[in-house]
Amino acid sequence: MRINIDEARELSKSIFIKAGLTQSDAQIITDVLLETEMRGVFTHGFLRLEWYIDCILSGGIRTDGEIEAVYDSPSWASVDGKDNLGIVVAYKAMQLAMEKARETGVGIVNVRGSHHFGAAGYYTSMCAENGMVGMSMSNGDVLIAATGSRVRTIGNNPFSYAFPAGKYKKIVYDIAMSHTSDRKIVQFAKEGKSLPEGWIINKDGCPTTDPLDYERGGTLMPFGGYKGYGLAMMVETLAATLSGAAMTRDVHAWNKNPAEGGNVGHFFMALDVSRLGDPDSYRARVDGMIDEIKGSEKAVGVNEIYYPGEIEAAKMQKCLSEGFVEIADETVASMHSAAKKVGL
Amino acid sequence: MRINIDEARELSKSIFIKAGLTQSDAQIITDVLLETEMRGVFTHGFLRLEWYIDCILSGGIRTDGEIEAVYDSPSWASVDGKDNLGIVVAYKAMQLAMEKARETGVGIVNVRGSHHFGAAGYYTSMCAENGMVGMSMSNGDVLIAATGSRVRTIGNNPFSYAFPAGKYKKIVYDIAMSHTSDRKIVQFAKEGKSLPEGWIINKDGCPTTDPLDYERGGTLMPFGGYKGYGLAMMVETLAATLSGAAMTRDVHAWNKNPAEGGNVGHFFMALDVSRLGDPDSYRARVDGMIDEIKGSEKAVGVNEIYYPGEIEAAKMQKCLSEGFVEIADETVASMHSAAKKVGL
């Protein structure tokens, strides 16, 4: 459904205000969800709004937006999100990392006591928009198998980095650790197609290309086998072990029980590139790298080689110039359901 | 060939001293190569020694071991390796990162003007041995295709992290960005076996499972498709763009021309975990995570679930307890050839 951007923004903001958020926190989460939606990452946009509201109404998520630094030093802090909305906590934590980077060149912020933080790429984009390199990650519910396991062992932990460029838009890389989402497995099953090798294992832990094996007790595999498994562990450790957040099976990032805090952990880093030299020269070097890669010989049938975030930036640009964003019907319905729940 | 560890150490050290390194720098590179060999990562161990010597003898690598900080601040520095041996430069850069982490909690060091730095995991291990989280990466010669490209576009950029644990040995993750090495492709071709999907593309940039297509102008693919491509770009940018090192096609990490400096770039980070709380409690949490993962239900046919670095640590332990290391015959021959070249 084609929705006017201002209307979508107003609806989201008024729902969160009615749910108890301050004006400015409602603005933060709305900006994050709207931008994510415009970038075409619909799985992390307004689709999640009703779930956040459910958690707020059940008491699992607090709305005062107050976070507490439990450790603070010029370049490194650790923050307790105190069961607030993950997106609000993450935004404020990355703001803190950027403040530190402005002062000292480097800002790192660990977080515990948070919740699902949405699109990891939003926070790194904040850095790139401010001439900084950004890194962000979060742990989450166990969802993917460790190499050698037959069950869900570790979170499908999101990881993002971003770099400012010059003539090009910022580079924004934003991934989860599975080869693909469970939605895509279901789609393959519907279409009666075989999966590529390595995407899932069956209930015995054996490789399978039959998408129906997923419903029969199969599990998503990390991308690239043990290499993806190891990256998921890096996120678990940087985001959760250091900060004192819940780990692996103890995490609940989602609606397992909306009335309970998730104690999700995050990790944010900001580096101010201007410390290492003239920022224009840095930007020219990033442009040069992108020129080189985009200009390389293309595979047969390929029209364009993209850098991370390029496609999403084009989608967002289109939305902004038209003033409209395409939101899935089920998502719009879910937003209206959330509005009703908060009494709008 | 089974070689006494002390003999291997003495041979390596005397070759590097004879090539012009100081006693302590010859000790550093020998320690790195020997430990890498004992961990079973033979591609980055003594196999490379003769190539390093060739570069030194041709003047492409300097031997005074002096590096220069071109930017320095309490938590962040950028260093010019001045065309010294990459391993010596990397070791000193990570030492500097760890000094900063001891003072401020965080230490980040960017490097330019370096050379092939061997096994990324050695430097992160240094952190873990000292109660720190470590991260290391380096760019390199273009070797893998970007998604959509049919040619070598970006380096097979190594990436490593390490975490200290308690009852378990440190977690050490050390990967390159390709699905597999070209050696393995050649092995599949010899054995007449098909490759798994996604490992290489043919000369037109199309997916292929025929290992012979590699010799016919094919290219290695990043692991996990665009996810691996994006990680290679992260390393390129953190390790090279920031520091002013050569990028993509301008890098030469290897023996393209042994007489020329490589201007390779690296990135190192050290975080002192004791800043965020009691280190024993941190170690217990890492052990708990590993217990959880290793104790999860195993796939059929799997005897053990490993964490990153566990297998390599066991191999090294075996070498140390026996006093011997297994070195490939061709590697031993190459070490003797290097010894002759320096006049030993």
Q: Is B277 on the interface with A (CB under 8 A)?
A: yes
Write the residue in A110, A276, A289 that is nearest to B110 by C-beta: A276
What DSSP string runs through A81-131?
Answer: -TTB-HHHHHHHHHHHHHHHHHHHSEEEEEEEEE-----HHHHHHHHHHTT
Domain spanning B179-214 has what CATH number?
3.30.60.50
pLDDT value of position A76: 98
| Contact check, Cβ <8 Å, A233/B308 | yes
Place of tokens 């990680």: B231
pLDDT of residue B138 exceeding 80, the answer is: yes
In whole angstroms, give the CA distance from residue B193 to residue B171: 33
B95 Rama sector, left if φ>0, alpha if ψ -120 to 50, beta otherwise: alpha
Write the residue in A105, A228, A305 that is nearest to B75 by C-beta: A105
- What is the residue-averaged pLDDT of chain B? 96
Question: What is the pTM (predicted TM-score) of this model?
Answer: 0.97
| Contact check, Cβ <8 Å, B282/A241 | yes
| Contact check, Cβ <8 Å, A71/B175 | no
Q: Which residues in chain B belong to E strands, given as ranges?
A: 2-4, 68-72, 76-80, 106-114, 132-138, 142-144, 154-155, 159-163, 171-175, 200-201, 207-208, 219-220, 264-272, 324-326
Write the residue in A204, A224, A230 that is nearest to B228 by C-beta: A224
Number of H helices, E strands in chain A: 11, 14
Cα distances (angstroms) measured from residue B163 to each of A51, B234, B308, B328: 35, 21, 10, 30
The CA distance from A45 to the nearest CA of chain B, in Å, is 21
In one-letter notation, the amino acid at residue B57 is L
Q: Is A284 on the interface with B (CB under 8 A)?
A: no
**Any idea of the CA torsion for A314, A327, A49, A134, to the nearest 10 degrees?**
-10
pLDDT value of position B255: 62
- Print pLDDT tens along chain A (344 aa): 999 999 999 999 999 999 999 999 999 999 999 999 999 999 999 999 999 999 999 999 999 999 999 999 999 999 999 999 999 999 999 999 999 999 999 999 999 999 999 999 999 999 999 999 999 999 999 999 999 999 999 999 999 999 999 999 999 999 999 998 888 999 999 999 999 888 999 999 999 999 999 999 999 999 999 999 999 999 999 999 999 999 999 998 776 788 888 899 999 999 999 999 999 999 999 999 999 999 999 999 999 999 999 999 999 999 999 999 999 999 999 999 999 999 99
Locate the chain A residue with the closest alpha carbon to B78: A276
CB B1 within 8 A of CB B327: yes
pLDDT digits 0-9 by tens, B2-32: 999 999 999 999 999 999 999 999 999 999 9
CB atoms within 10 A of CB A301: 9
Cα distances (angstroms) measured from residue B18 to each of A78, A145, B35: 49, 50, 21
Q: Is A171 on the interface with B (CB under 8 A)?
A: yes
CB A144 within 8 A of CB A198: no
In whole angstroms, give the CA distance from residue A289 to residue B249: 9
Q: Is B105 on the interface with A (CB under 8 A)?
A: yes
* Residue extents of the structural domains in chain A: 2-178+222-277+317-341, 285-311
β-sheet with B171-175: strand ranges across: B68-72, B76-80, B106-114, B264-272, B132-138, B159-163, B171-175
Write the residue in A108, A277, A297 that is nearest to B244 by C-beta: A277
The CA distance from B306 to the nearest CA of chain A, in Å, is 8
CB A250 within 8 A of CB A237: no
Q: Region B107-125: what's the mean pLDDT? A: 97
| Contact check, Cβ <8 Å, A276/B243 | yes
Q: Calculate ∠ Cα A27-A29-A34, nearest 5°.
A: 90
pLDDT value of position B261: 84
Q: Region B145-153: what's the mean pLDDT? A: 96
Note which residues in 43-72 of chain A have CB less than 8 A from chain B. Answer: 71
SS3 B106: strand
Q: Which residues touch B336 (CB under 8 Å, ≥6 apart)? A: none
A102, A175, A289: which to substitute to probe chain B, counting the most B Cβ within 10 Å?
A289
Note which residues in 121-140 of chain A have CB less than 8 A from chain B. Answer: 133
Q: Which residues of A40-55 are buried (b: 16+ CB within 10 A; e: fewer)?
A: bbbebbbbbbbbbbbb
Q: Region B117-140: what's the mean pLDDT? A: 98
Q: Token pair of A12, please?
A: 């989201």
Cα distances (angstroms) measured from residue A126 to each of A131, A135, A313: 9, 10, 14
| Contact check, Cβ <8 Å, B241/A302 | no
A-B CB pairs within 8 A amount to: 237
Cα distances (angstroms) measured from residue A160 to each of B143, B310, B323: 24, 27, 44
In 3D, which of B133, B277, B307 has the Cα closest to residue A238? B133
Chain A partners within 8 Å of B149 (Cβ): 293, 296-299, 302, 305
Q: Is A217 on the interface with B (CB under 8 A)?
A: no
Q: Region B233-258: what's the mean pLDDT? A: 90
pLDDT value of position A261: 84
The CA distance from B247 to the nearest CA of chain A, in Å, is 7
pLDDT value of position B252: 83
What φ, ψ does residue A82 adopt, rounded to 5°? 50, 40
| Contact check, Cβ <8 Å, B196/A198 | yes
The CA distance from B191 to the nearest CA of chain A, in Å, is 21
Domain spanning A2-178+222-277+317-341 has what CATH number?
3.30.1370.60
pLDDT value of position B259: 87
In whole angstroms, give the CA distance from residue B86 to residue B52: 9
**How many residues are recorded in chain A?**
344
Q: Is B108 on the interface with A (CB under 8 A)?
A: yes
Q: Which residues of A208-217 are buried (b: 16+ CB within 10 A; e: fewer)?
A: beebebbeee
